[in-house]
Amino acid sequence: MTDATAASRFPVDESVNETGQRQVSSSIDFGPQQITVLSGPEQRCLQTARLLGLAPSVESRLADLHVGRWRGCALSDVRPADLAAWVTDPAFASHGGESVTELMSRVRDWLESLTVDRCRIVAVTHQAVVRASIIIALDAPPKSFWRIDIAPAARTDLHFRGHAWTLRFVGRPCS
């Protein structure tokens, strides 16, 4: 949770707030396996990883959905017609940022890069990246993007089964 999330604003590169710090638990057991820890480049991702006791490498493909000129704006500051187009048309990007389909392409590239290496990956990232990953795993249409609600500090598990990603768990609390 960040102040932007709490105020229904599009995020800027900000830290996790006090509520977010309480949401993240350092008691996650990732098991005895060797893990690779990756993080989106934003402060909130890196801070969350540290709160979890992890030392991540930054992966740019785990960056949040780029919302262009809406960055830092309250939802109420955006024209209702633009918001409606944004949540119904996955190719919409008139805000000057990234469309949902562009985000999904970026996340798909990242997921495909992971299928070569067999180690366990922990990725500290954003709700939008998690949504895109779920849609890719389920081979669901991009218009389903906004129908998935991911809570802050939730854990989602995906598993690669030789030829495709599968969804194991979604929205599990981190603790």
Higher pLDDT residue, 10 or 133? 133
- Please, which pLDDT band fits residue 66 given cuts at 50, 70 and 90? very high
The per-residue pLDDT for 64 is: 97
Count of domains in the chain? 1
- Alpha-carbon gap, residue 135 to 22, rounded angstroms: 29
pLDDT in tens, 21-48: 777 764 466 665 678 999 999 999 999 9
Q: How many CB atoms lie within 10 A of CB 62?
A: 23
Domain around 127: 3-173
Residue 88 in this model has a pLDDT that exceeds 80: yes
- Alpha-carbon gap, residue 25 to 112, rounded angstroms: 29
- Please, which pLDDT band fits residue 118 given cuts at 50, 70 and 90? low
pLDDT in tens, 131-173: 999 999 999 999 999 999 988 888 899 998 888 999 988 775 5
Contacts of 58 (CB under 8 A, 6+ apart): 38, 39, 40, 41, 46
What is the average per-residue pLDDT within 62-74? 96
Average pLDDT, the chain: 88
CATH code assigned at 108? 3.40.50.1240
* Amino acid at site 70: W
**pLDDT > 70: what percent of the chain?**
90
Burial bucket for residue 159 (CB in 10 Å: 0-12, 13-18, 19+):
exposed
